[in-house]
Amino acid sequence: MIDASATIHCEDVPWLPLAPKVGVRVLKLDATEGSYTVMIRAEAGGVLPRHRHIGEAEIYMLEGSGAHPQTGAFRPGDFITERAGAIHDPLEFGENTLLLMVSRGPSAFLAPDGSDMVLMDVPMLQGLMQRGAAQAAAQ
Q: Sign (positive/negative) of CA torsion 8, 128, 43, 118?
A: negative
For residue 61, what pLDDT band results from cuts at 50, 70 and 90?
Answer: very high
Output the pLDDT for position 68: 87
Residue 139, pLDDT > 70, answer: yes
Convert 14-23 to b/e letters by CB count within 10 Å (16 or more is b). eebebbebbb
Residue 134, pLDDT > 60, answer: yes
Q: What is the pTM of this model?
A: 0.91
What Cα–Cα distance (Å) separates residue 78 from each residue in 15, 21, 119? 23, 22, 26
Tell me the one-letter amino acid at 85.
Answer: G
Residue 2, pLDDT > 70, answer: no
Phi-psi region of 47 (alpha: psi -120 to 50; beta: other; left: phi over 0): beta
Q: Tell me: the pLDDT tens digits for 67-122?
A: 988 888 999 999 999 999 999 999 999 999 999 999 999 999 999 999 999 999 99
**What gap in Å lies between CA 71 and CA 120, rounded to an integer?**
20
Output the pLDDT for position 1: 57
Q: Tell me: the pLDDT tens digits for 8-45?
A: 999 999 999 999 999 999 999 999 999 999 999 999 99
**What gap in Å lies between CA 128 and CA 17, rounded to an integer?**
8
Tell me the one-letter amino acid at 118.
Answer: V
CB contact at 8 A, 61 and 71: no
For residue 136, what pLDDT band results from cuts at 50, 70 and 90?
Answer: confident
